């Protein structure tokens, strides 16, 4: 294209409309805060959805639910049943001496079937959480901790559950 042809164009040849209907610059300018607010709201909603999804996934994860319920069963079992069986009628230093034997090696494995049945089956309602678990291979191993009171212990869980 020849540049001299461009110079020959005048304002009458190229007419740029000054006001397009509904598309004026002032209209866009007045809508800018609305657009900004809309974008901020959309970002907040997206972040909220991501957070809610993460929390829901963690809380409603089947494995997490099984571990949570098994932990509750394990705590009840140790505090309401096993501790009394381990201690018997010993007191004070005798309790510490007896439970110190189990501190490193732990108490014999307590299987899921035992946890569900130890209190005459009152915990059978919890069995629904463990439908996909092998009750003879899922177990809890207890480790008494000093000063060897009823709530002084920790435990490890070994799950044998299908996904």
49 domain residue, yes or no: no
139 found inside a domain: yes
Domain that holds residue 140: 62-158
Does 123 map to a domain?
A: yes
Residue 65's pLDDT is 82
Q: What is the pLDDT of residue 36?
A: 87
**Is position 48 within any domain?**
no
Burial environment of residue 91 by CB neighbours within 10 A (0 to 12, 13 to 18, 19 or more): exposed
- Residue 15 lies inside a defined structural domain of this protein: no
Alpha-carbon gap, residue 45 to 119, rounded angstroms: 48
Q: Average pLDDT, stretch 39-48?
A: 93
Is 120 a member of any domain? yes
Give the pTM: 0.63
Give me the number of domains the chain comprises.
1
Domain presence at residue 145 = yes
Tell me what the mean pLDDT of segment 135-145 comes to: 96
Closest Cα partner for 142 from 115, 116, 122, 119? 115
């Amino acid at each position: 294209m020849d540049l001299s042809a461009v110079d020959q164009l005048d304002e009458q040849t190229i007419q740029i409309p000054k006001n397009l209907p509904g598309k004026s610059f002032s209209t866009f300018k007045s809508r800018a805060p609305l657009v900004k607010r809309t974008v901020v709201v959309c970002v907040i909603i997206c972040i909220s959805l991501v957070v809610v999804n993460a929390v829901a996934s963690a809380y409603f994860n089947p494995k997490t639910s099984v571990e949570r319920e098994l932990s509750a069963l394990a705590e009840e079992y140790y505090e309401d049943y096993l501790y009394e069986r381990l201690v018997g009628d010993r007191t004070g230093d005798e309790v510490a001496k007896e439970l110190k034997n189990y501190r490193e090696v732990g108490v014999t494995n307590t299987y899921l079937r035992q946890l569900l049945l130890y209190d005459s089956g009152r915990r059978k309602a919890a069995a629904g959480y463990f439908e996909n678990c092998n009750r003879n291979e899922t177990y809890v191993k207890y480790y008494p901790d000093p000063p060897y009171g009823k709530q002084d212990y920790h435990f490890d869980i070994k799950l044998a559950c299908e996904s």
